């Protein structure tokens, strides 16, 4: 029963109600959209189908761009996706430069007029990781440059300051969730035991739902161990700092899988201990590094601390 992701609103069975709500918008009546819900609930797939709906397309060519800019005499990098129809920025990919991207890149982009009084569409993903001060700067842009821009904003249910902000007043709000009737429609011609049906209806996201539907149960292993193996192999083979980009990608993937990154160092220590014998001195040093990069002890970005933990493990050759 493994199927490809829907690309048109007519293809949806799960999230059909939300697709129908989005289908009421056209390029003539489009408002700012705020789509929120748990991770792995189908928000990105809905937005991709929404863009196809707006422009009557099926396979829009996109280009991912990594570009350097200067703001207040300091350089920063912005990673974004562009097409003929929209811009897309994932704040998670740009976690270290969110302030500069909002204050410089987005402000310059949105303040420029468009041809023939048309508007540009800007998709902003993972807005829940934007701090309150930077969120206020973003809200200023949304409110003051509405004529030339329409925003599609995607958030997880993880930051109260986002939901308490003016954002919900500036947008048409849609909550994304798993609807039991839609799940029943999806599996109506399949036979499952009562236990499997119970597990299906108790899934928290589409990732779990597809696993239970296709394999009758969730796997005994956890995705964390797959990524720990990848991270360990990367560290062992790392000869230059060029591999840091791949390390960041693994950490971001774990974040998107709803894994608590604060516990990642302790999981890695257990992984190392199970994988190889370590001397007491090496083990002590490993715990010392994990404590040094405990995010609770500092006020810096969580991602930076996790990266630094793995880099120092490599520097001390504790592999």
Question: pLDDT by residue (tens digit) across 184-229?
Answer: 999 988 888 888 898 899 888 898 888 888 877 665 556 677 888 8
253 in Cβ contact with 223 (< 8 Å)? no
What is the model's pLDDT at position 297?
Answer: 52
Q: Does the pTM of the predicted model rise above 0.75?
A: no
What is the model's pLDDT at position 219?
Answer: 56
What tokens appear for 287 in the block? 């715990």
Is 3 a domain residue? no
122 in Cβ contact with 150 (< 8 Å)? yes
Shared domain check, 231 and 204: no
CA distances to 70, 141, 152, 286, 287 from 74, in Å? 5, 22, 29, 35, 36
Closest by Cα among 29, 32, 36 to 171: 32
The separation between the first and the last C-alpha atoms of the chain, rounded to the nearest angstrom, is: 41
Shared domain check, 159 and 282: no
Shared domain check, 79 and 66: yes
Overall domain count for the chain = 3
171 in Cβ contact with 139 (< 8 Å)? no
Closest by Cα among 225, 314, 217, 215 to 264: 225
Shared domain check, 21 and 59: yes
**Tens-level pLDDT at each residue, the chain (319 residues):** 445 789 999 999 999 999 999 999 999 999 999 999 988 899 999 999 999 999 999 889 999 999 999 999 999 999 999 999 999 999 988 988 999 999 999 999 999 988 877 899 999 999 988 989 999 999 999 999 999 999 999 998 767 888 889 999 999 999 999 999 999 999 988 888 888 898 899 888 898 888 888 877 665 556 677 888 888 888 888 877 667 888 888 888 787 777 778 888 888 888 887 777 677 677 778 877 877 776 655 444 667 777 788 888 888 777 7
Shared domain check, 259 and 113: no
68 in Cβ contact with 77 (< 8 Å)? yes
Query: In terms of residue numbers, what domain contains 260?
Result: 223-315
Question: pLDDT by residue (tens digit) across 73-113?
Answer: 999 999 999 999 999 999 988 988 999 999 999 999 999 98
What does the angle CA 185 – CA 178 – CA 31 come to, to the nearest 5 degrees?
110
Is 15 a domain residue? yes
Boundary residue ending a domain (157, 190, 215):
215
CA distances to 2, 26, 179, 273 from 277, in Å? 41, 62, 49, 6
Is 208 a domain residue? yes
36 in Cβ contact with 156 (< 8 Å)? yes
Shared domain check, 171 and 40: yes
What is the model's pLDDT at position 20?
Answer: 97
CA distances to 251, 261, 263, 289, 315 from 294, in Å? 15, 10, 9, 9, 18
What tokens appear for 256 in the block? 């998107």
Shared domain check, 231 and 211: no
Is 91 a domain residue? yes
Q: How many CB atoms lie within 10 A of CB 20?
A: 11
What is the model's pLDDT at position 262?
Answer: 80
What tokens appear for 76 in the block? 């920063």
Is 2 a domain residue? no
Shared domain check, 163 and 39: yes
What is the model's pLDDT at position 299?
Answer: 45
Task: Look up the CATH number of the domain holding residue 303.
Answer: 1.20.272
Distance, CA of 17 to CA of 319 (rounded, Å): 50
Shared domain check, 190 and 167: no
Shared domain check, 260 and 133: no
Residue 165 DSSP SS3: coil
Shared domain check, 244 and 189: no
Boundary residue ending a domain (165, 191, 215):
215
Boundary residue ending a domain (177, 205, 240):
177
Shared domain check, 259 and 227: yes
């Amino acid at each position: 029963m493994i199927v490809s992701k829907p690309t048109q609103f007519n293809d949806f069975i799960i999230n059909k109600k939300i697709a129908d709500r989005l289908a009421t918008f056209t390029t003539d009546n489009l408002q700012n959209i705020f789509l929120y819900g748990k991770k792995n609930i189908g928000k990105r797939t809905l937005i991709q189908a929404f863009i196809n709906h707006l422009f009557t397309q099926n396979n829009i060519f996109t280009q991912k761009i990594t570009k350097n800019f200067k703001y207040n005499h300091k350089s920063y990098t912005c990673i974004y996706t562009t097409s003929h129809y929209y811009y897309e920025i994932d704040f998670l990919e740009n976690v270290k430069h969110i302030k500069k991207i909002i204050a410089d890149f987005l402000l310059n982009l949105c303040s420029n007029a468009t041809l023939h009084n048309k508007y540009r569409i800007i998709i902003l993903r993972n807005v829940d990781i934007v701090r309150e001060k930077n969120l206020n700067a973003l809200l200023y842009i949304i409110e003051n440059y509405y004529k030339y821009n329409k925003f599609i904003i995607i958030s997880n249910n993880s930051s109260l300051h986002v939901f308490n902000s003016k954002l919900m007043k500036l947008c048409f709000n849609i909550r994304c969730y798993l609807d039991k009737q839609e799940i029943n429609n999806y599996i109506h011609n399949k036979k499952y035991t009562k236990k499997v049906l119970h597990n299906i209806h108790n899934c928290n996201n589409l990732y779990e739902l597809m696993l239970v539907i296709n394999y009758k149960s969730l796997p005994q292993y956890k995705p964390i161990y797959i990524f720990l193996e990848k991270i360990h192999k990367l560290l062992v083979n790392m000869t230059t700092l060029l591999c840091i980009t791949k390390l960041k990608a693994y950490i971001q993937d774990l974040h998107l899988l709803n894994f608590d990154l604060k516990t990642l160092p302790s999981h890695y220590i257990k992984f190392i201990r199970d994988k190889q014998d370590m001397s007491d001195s090496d083990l002590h040093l490993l715990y010392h590094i994990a404590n040094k990069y405990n995010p609770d002890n500092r006020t810096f970005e969580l991602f930076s601390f996790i990266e630094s933990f793995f880099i120092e493990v490599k520097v001390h050759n504790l592999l």
